[in-house]
Every structure is written in C-alpha cells, then in structure tokens.
Amino acid sequence: MEVKQTNSSLLLGTNMGFVLQYPLSKFKTVTPRFGEINSSLLITDIELCPHDSRCFLVGVSDGSLRLHSEMTSRPLKVFTVSNLLASGISSVRWSNFKPGLIITLDRDSNLLVWNLCESDLQPVVKMSFKATDERNEVLKRALTTSQIPPDRLEKLVKFMLPATGMQAGPRISRMDLSRDIRLPYLGIVVSGATVHVHRFSNEFAAKGADIKNRELNVLRKYLDLLHK
C-alpha cells in the first residue's frame, strides 16, 4: 500500500485501482477519491509533482501511468505505457533538477524516461535490463528441443529478440532520483544488492537558472492546459 504526504493531506494508494486523499486538518471531513474502482488493479507508487502542488503521478499494476490533480477525480492524463512495458510499474519519479523529466521502472527492469516539456506521446528513452537474460533463456530452451544447428539457432534467436538499451543481465529492484537540483543522478539497486549511480547527460539536466525557468514555464503551461 502506497502512502504519500502532502502539505495538507495523505494520499493512500489502494488495491482497488484508485487513490484516497485523507485531509490532515480536523476541519475537513471529505475524503476525495482519484480514479475509478477496479478490483483487478493495484496502485504501485505515488509521486508528488515537485513543481506544481496540485499534481501527482500514479503508477498502476497494469503498466499505466496516470497524472492526477487534486482539483478533479478523473486523471488529467493517462500515459500510453502499457504497450511499452511488459508488466506493471513498480516505481515512478519526477525530477527536481529538470522540470519535465519523469522516470518509470516496471517489474521486468525496464526504465522509461519521459520529458513532458517535449512530448507526452512517448518516452524519449527506453532502457531494458532484461534483454540478455531473456535471449539466453529462450536460446537454452530452443537448444534442447530444436534440430537446427546451435550456431544458426543462436543467430535466429538474437534476430527475433534483439537487445534494446543496456546490455545487462541483473534485474533492477529499486530506483530513485537525486532530490538535489544540482545533482542530476539516478541510483538503481540491482540483484545482489549492488548499487549503480548514473549521471544524466546534459540533455537530461537543466543547466543554468534561465534554462530551468524556461522549462518550468513550459511545464506549468502544459499542466494548466490539462486542467481546463
């Protein structure tokens, strides 16, 4: 069960596909609900927008990513993630150092990088940490049942299941972004409790106050448009 605290309330993710908001003030008794009731869906993560106190992101077990606002019960936007990820989202982070940057991690160790200041139609980067493991497993099963020579079979499997993104076997168990606006870093925990720290390239790090303010204005206009 996911819980996040805002300045005035608690956001509680349920195993029924929606988020409840419990006010911290004793003078408020209304408990808003965000999203529709669906017993087959689990809210897997909640991330507050660091640039707009109205908004928050919700990761769902079906692989969808929803952008919500405290102003309305319906999502402002549902990102088309389910056809890009093989399984449900396990965590989502919204960058402090680059206003439009969002990172999602699914249960199969796929990372998607979004930049809402450029587009909300598709991520700008997809990185998969399972490609090598997947190909090796398919190849192992095929070698025990197929009559095709091993060298030809290996080439066929690699053609059918091309590696995408990072060529690594370990699975990611956790990920997080630096909360310091001066440090554009991504930390991931892989199997075996190994921690990898990656620094974003300049493309994904807003350098200088002028650039960040410009991107912040773009993001705020985008969010204001969704609220209309």
Task: Report the chain's mean pLDDT, rounded to a whole number.
Answer: 79
Domain range summary for the chain, segments of one domain joined by +: 3-128+172-227, 131-168
Q: Report the distance separating Cα 51 and Cα 128, nearest Å.
A: 28
Q: What is the pLDDT of residues 162-202, one digit of tens each?
A: 444 334 456 788 889 988 888 888 888 887 678 888 888 87
Q: Distance between alpha carbon 23 and the CA centroid of its chain, in Å?
A: 27
Q: Residue 4 corresponds to which tokens in the numbers above?
A: 């996040």
Taking the C-alpha atoms of residue 45 and residue 47, their distance in angstroms, rounded to an integer, is 7
Q: What is the mean pLDDT of residues 125-131?
A: 71
Q: Which residue in 11, 1, 105 sits closest to 49, CA to CA?
A: 11
Note the pLDDT of residue 7: 83
Share of the chain above pLDDT 90, in %: 33
The total of other beta-carbon atoms located within 10 Å of residue 28's CB is 12
- 93 vs 198, residue with greater confidence: 93
0.85 surpassed by pTM = no
Domain 3-128+172-227: give its CATH architecture. 7 Propeller (2.130)
Report the distance separating Cα 46 and Cα 21, nearest Å.
Answer: 12
Residue 189, CA atoms < 13 Å, CB-side half-sphere: 7
Per-range mean pLDDT, top range of 143-147, 185-189, 200-204, 207-211: 185-189
